[in-house]
């Protein structure tokens, strides 16, 4: 079984600030996938990013970037120059069966 | 691409009735679909894994006779909440994994169930 820890329950920022969401996971698998999903107030989960465990290259996609450190089992996610529309609950989830973390509620104030 | 729909989006029913929720992958085939429930301000809890043409695999603590799952085709899975009670009120979300094995799950918009 996977275990996911998102230590931050809530984060509140002012628009244009950067937001970094922490995620630490436990797994016995040697290869696995990691995901970040976003759940806006409407409730529908939106797929954001997926990483393979054997690819530790960190990337930037638009305002999103992520920092994957296999040695520390961390998969952090950053929103640069946050916008009000980024307000949502963000879930980290490893593996295809998706053991979800508790989620981090991000509130971006205008 | 990768659109998953759920129907209905909202349902209110009386205690003791059964409610069926449909989950469809609209533009891809999914051998595996997943059903989750989510209580307010909580994370998603996996209820069961639905496999096309075979029995669903239920997570520990989930009553299989209470939550009937049928995966009749590569694009449709249904969850039936039998003899619903107020404690079954929740947000039910399905997801589907593309047959092409991209490992990414795409989620439906969810179904809010309120049992009176």
Which of B8, B105, B108 best tests the A interface by mutation, with the highest count of A CBs <10 A?
Answer: B105
Reported as a single tens digit per residue, the pLDDT across B48-59 is: 998 888 889 999
Residue ranges of E strands in chain B: 4-7, 10-13, 19-25, 32-38, 44-51, 57-58, 67-73, 76-81, 90-97, 105-107, 111-115
- Indicate yes or no: CB of B34 within 8 angstroms of CB of A97: yes
Q: Which pLDDT score, from 0 to 100, does residue A52 have?
A: 82
* B67: its two tokens: 């939550």
Q: Which pLDDT score, from 0 to 100, does residue B38 have?
A: 93
Q: Which pLDDT score, from 0 to 100, does residue B99 have?
A: 67
> What residues of B are in contact with residue A101 (Cβ under 8 Å)?
43
Q: Could you tell me which chain B residue has the CA closest to the CA of A5?
A: B43
Which of A9, A96, A106 best tests the B interface by mutation, with the highest count of B CBs <10 A?
Answer: A96
Q: Which pLDDT score, from 0 to 100, does residue A9 have?
A: 94
Reported as a single tens digit per residue, the pLDDT across B4-18 is: 999 999 999 999 999
Reported as a single tens digit per residue, the pLDDT across A6-60 is: 999 999 999 999 999 999 988 888 788 888 999 999 888 998 888 888 777 777 7
Which band of pLDDT confidence, cut at 50, 70 and 90, is reported for residue A1? low
Reported as a single tens digit per residue, the pLDDT across B58-81 is: 999 999 999 999 988 889 999 999
Does any CB of chain A come closer than 8 Å to the CB of residue B92?
A: no
Euclidean distance between CA atoms B31 and A73, whole angstroms? 30
Q: Could you tell me which chain A residue has the CA closest to the CA of B110?
A: A44
Count CA atoms closer than 13 A to B55's CA, side-chain side.
6
């Amino acid at each position: 079984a996977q275990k996911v820890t998102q230590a931050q329950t809530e984060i509140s920022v002012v628009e244009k600030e950067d937001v970094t969401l922490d995620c630490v996971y436990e797994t016995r698998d040697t290869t696995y996938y990691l995901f970040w999903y976003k759940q806006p107030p409407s409730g529908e989960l939106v797929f954001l990013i997926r990483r393979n465990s054997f690819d530790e290259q960190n990337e930037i996609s638009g305002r999103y970037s992520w920092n994957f450190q296999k040695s520390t089992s961390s998969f952090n996610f950053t929103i640069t120059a946050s916008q009000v529309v980024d307000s949502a609950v963000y879930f980290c989830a490893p593996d295809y069966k998706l053991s979800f973390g508790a989620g981090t509620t991000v509130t971006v104030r205008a | 691409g990768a659109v998953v729909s759920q129907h209905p989006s909202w349902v209110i029913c009386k205690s003791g009735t059964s409610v069926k929720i449909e989950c469809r992958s609209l533009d891809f085939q999914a051998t595996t679909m997943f059903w989750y429930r989510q209580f307010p301000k909580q994370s998603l809890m996996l209820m069961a894994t639905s496999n096309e043409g075979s029995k669903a695999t239920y997570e520990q603590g989930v009553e299989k006779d209470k939550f009937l799952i049928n995966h009749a085709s590569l694009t449709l899975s249904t969850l039936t909440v039998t003899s619903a009670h107020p404690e079954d009120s929740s947000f039910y979300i399905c997801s589907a994994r593309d047959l092409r094995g991209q490992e990414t799950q795409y989620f439906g918009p969810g179904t809010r169930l309120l049992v009176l």
